[in-house]
Structure 1
């Protein structure tokens, strides 16, 4: 038999790529059209191989998912490449998944970016198991809880830090006021820095102005620390790697993205480790644990990588969620003078001439309602991290087979007209009417629920509610002209894209918010 060697060796890279693509397409189609089990949730039609990916390419996929719920119902299935994902768009179904059926879907399904940056060592990203329970116990006991005596001691130590933070915020805002008793301010610029300093004090026992990081060969300033530990990771975990939707093609390199993610993870780890190492040198001179890191280092069961990850998580938990909630609340308050005045009058009735304190929050019903209404309208994370079904289960009466992913669309839950009248309006009063019970404030599920409830929810509420109350108590607020409809957000999150800009005037002086120009 004659063999044409030239034809064999003339195979080009393009031909190889085409062959690989054909095989991948065939595999994708087989996965896409594998037999569905009986009594499955409704399926949103897609296209072969890609499924519904192209329909979700806009930056706010939770809007599209909410619209599909109007057509297919509160539970339906979509295809994201080779993966089947069930979307839950109602509070009732979400609680069934996160509480009743949790044992069947307790495994996390993380993107490549999220897994690389977190190492699956932080509480929010790790699978539910012994490590998750241990890590959550440490965080609650040392920083975030409220019940045990040792927790109260830690909270007492951290209370002056929180009070000092708000005094600093008020002082810096007051410095922006001109001779006409008026000033244009950006709350994010000031509050973000103070929250980060609070996070360092609670986690490490002290504020850190700068630190030399041996692994990076540079001295890192506080502003750079905020970027490396908070802002950069939040941006990077939003990056989409197309290989996440086609795991069987993960061998194909995506070098530019991989380099960005690895660099972010490396810098985050290096700075956190440097902060921990500096603290280790002081521990020998301390009589008892005084911060979260002290507590972690006293636990021999934790590895070094776990300690690094948990300290970083505590820093970002304190730095970010209260910032998001407070900024959106002040945005709504600044454009609603009537509601702003109601909050102020309530504070006056409860606190008089005294500064609002955390102990006062239980008596400030309208302020609490304003906080929870903000979380309803602007949930910090509009969609939960996907969970993976590791054994056959049921949701909403439908069969959900093992291998399926589950995602809760919190945005759709909170926009459901069956649960909320005029859901697109910011109306704190809804939580004070006879139609709602006190526990309905937590119906928004912004802090999740069940065994996956956000560990930092209590602290976020304490910080944000106290901050909102103090800012209204000290100043009258009015949005900068033209900013009343600025609700753009960062990517798929609810982080406000543009900082709130507002005019402020000290309380108790002549003039009113209506006179700002």
Structure 2
């Protein structure tokens, strides 16, 4: 008897919960829906088309493939350039045209005062104490000014030029080393590039690269372990896990202990590593060693206006934003070039016609419109964070850099609104300029020095991870040095 009751108990609980959800849904419908819906009915604005969804969960099942920007592009064919969906209790307005997005984010609502973040994303973002994800206000304006002045602004970029040149040389050298040691065996692009660009991020953030760090709580961590703790784990937590209560408030009471433990473990490990990195640099400075020009040096000088937590989160933000998104875009660009040999050769010929036997440099970028088109076409199809869906391009699923060379619509090389991949208005990504420069120069240099090819099924491997468009499996390409 007791066994039967024990086996039946879960069914009774689930059945009761289901009845409660159904009752809640029809009560909402009868009472006229949410406050947001009621407000929209009295608005003088024309109604936004709504994509029909299911009771309680809304349009959640339509997003189950994990590629929302692709799903939105398909829905746009039926519902137009702007429509709304609902995920659980959250209404979401989707804009599918960069012209409309630019109007919304630049012309009308440039500040976008508040960002509603899920619990996991908020925790991954140091509880929103970073430029990209904090609410618009005094802290955002102050922190963005610090970042622009010391990391990503024009003057700061001039000071960090030597680090970027070193990065490009090191990347090319590492690929030549692979060919020397392994011949025509496929190379894992991500293994090499992510490590090198991580070094650039560390130099800009704390003044130097590191091979290991001694962390009081964790012991000695190697460079790959540092990279995983600071970059890989937070991104995975932020993008691949969902907190039910964020979308279904009536389910907040259900514990997600395993998930919460993962969040806190990630948070504590990252915090411990960041504190160790900062402590090591401050101790070097205290001993009389000159601290190289870096973001940390400036923030410490601003210690009276910033808390320890704010300094830690702002330094971490520079590390992740200077490395992760650039790596994603560069890998996809070389993947597409490797499986589109004619486009790759067109790019190579453009570079050769401008640079000759000299190595491509940042000064050459303004003379290479096809390279610029390759970079922005990659951003269009594989935005690092697909916030704006594929717009009404001709054949939007096709990777075609020529679309950015269309005589009917001119695209200036420095137009960061081409694809809206960097955001817009006062929320424009502070590191957009560096992302374009580093990504474009890397692509140009690697095509200038190597012929890239894919073998077997690699050319069809376009799977992505989470809601980000990072390639699920690292690209393995066969590279052959060119005769320059």
Any conservation in 2 of the 1:289–1:295 contact (CA below 8 Å)?
Answer: no
Question: 1:23–1:182: structure 2 CA closer, same or farther, 3 Å change rule?
Answer: closer
SS of the residue corresponding to residue 411 of structure 1 reads: coil
Any conservation in 2 of the 1:182–1:505 contact (CA below 8 Å)?
Answer: yes
Q: Return the alpha-carbon distance in structure 2 between the equivalents of residues 207 and 334 of structure 1.
A: 31
* CA displacement at 1:233 relative to structure 2: 0.8
Question: 1:29–1:107: structure 2 CA closer, same or farther, 3 Å change rule?
Answer: farther
Q: Return the alpha-carbon distance in structure 2 between the equivalents of residues 231 and 131 of structure 1.
A: 27
* CA displacement at 1:424 relative to structure 2: 2.2
Task: Tell me if 1:121 matches 2:129.
Answer: yes
1:466-499 Cα offsets, whole Å, 9 max, x none, are 1001101111111123322211111221101111
Any conservation in 2 of the 1:61–1:492 contact (CA below 8 Å)?
Answer: yes
Equivalent in 293, 297, 311 of residue 307 of structure 1? 311
Task: Tell me if 1:47 matches 2:54.
Answer: yes
Equivalent in 278, 302, 323 of residue 319 of structure 1? 323
**Which structure: greater helix fraction?**
2
SS of the residue corresponding to residue 484 of structure 1 reads: helix
Question: 1:222–1:85: structure 2 CA closer, same or farther, 3 Å change rule?
Answer: same
Q: Which residue is equivalent to 1:412?
A: 390
Between 1:178-187 and 1:291-300, the stretch displaced more is: 178-187
Any conservation in 1 of the 2:351–2:368 contact (CA below 8 Å)?
Answer: yes
Any conservation in 2 of the 1:117–1:262 contact (CA below 8 Å)?
Answer: no
* CA displacement at 1:25 relative to structure 2: 4.9
Equivalent in 453, 456, 464 of residue 489 of structure 1? 464
Q: Which residue is equivalent to 1:479?
A: 454
1:63-462 correspondence to structure 2 within 5 Å: 63-102=70-109, 105-118=112-125, 119-146=127-154, 152=155, 154-178=156-180, 182-214=184-216, 216-238=217-239, 239-284=241-286, 285=288, 290-299=293-302, 300-383=304-387, 410-413=388-391, 416=392, 420-439=393-412, 442-462=417-437
Question: 1:22–1:187: structure 2 CA closer, same or farther, 3 Å change rule?
Answer: same
Q: Which residue is equivalent to 1:9?
A: none
Number of positions where the alignment pairs a residue of Structure 1 with one of Structure 2: 460
1:37-73 Cα offsets, whole Å, 9 max, x none, are 3343122222222222233222223333222222222
Q: Return the alpha-carbon distance in structure 1 between the equivalents of residues 273 and 218 of structure 2.
A: 11
* CA displacement at 1:168 relative to structure 2: 1.6
* CA displacement at 1:323 relative to structure 2: 0.5
TM-score scaled by length of structure 1: 0.83
* CA displacement at 1:508 relative to structure 2: 1.0
Any conservation in 1 of the 2:208–2:292 contact (CA below 8 Å)?
Answer: no
Q: Return the alpha-carbon distance in structure 1 between the equivalents of residues 170 and 253 of structure 2.
A: 51
* CA displacement at 1:217 relative to structure 2: 3.5
Between 1:247-256 and 1:122-131, the stretch displaced more is: 247-256
Q: Which residue is equivalent to 1:4?
A: none
SS of the residue corresponding to residue 240 of structure 1 reads: coil
SS of the residue corresponding to residue 86 of structure 2 reads: strand
RMSD of aligned alpha carbons: 2.3
* CA displacement at 1:29 relative to structure 2: 4.4
Q: Return the alpha-carbon distance in structure 2 between the equivalents of residues 275 and 25 of structure 1.
A: 52
SS of the residue corresponding to residue 293 of structure 2 reads: coil
* CA displacement at 1:103 relative to structure 2: 6.3
Question: 1:508–1:16: structure 2 CA closer, same or farther, 3 Å change rule?
Answer: closer
SS of the residue corresponding to residue 85 of structure 1 reads: strand
SS of the residue corresponding to residue 76 of structure 1 reads: strand
Question: 1:423–1:64: structure 2 CA closer, same or farther, 3 Å change rule?
Answer: closer
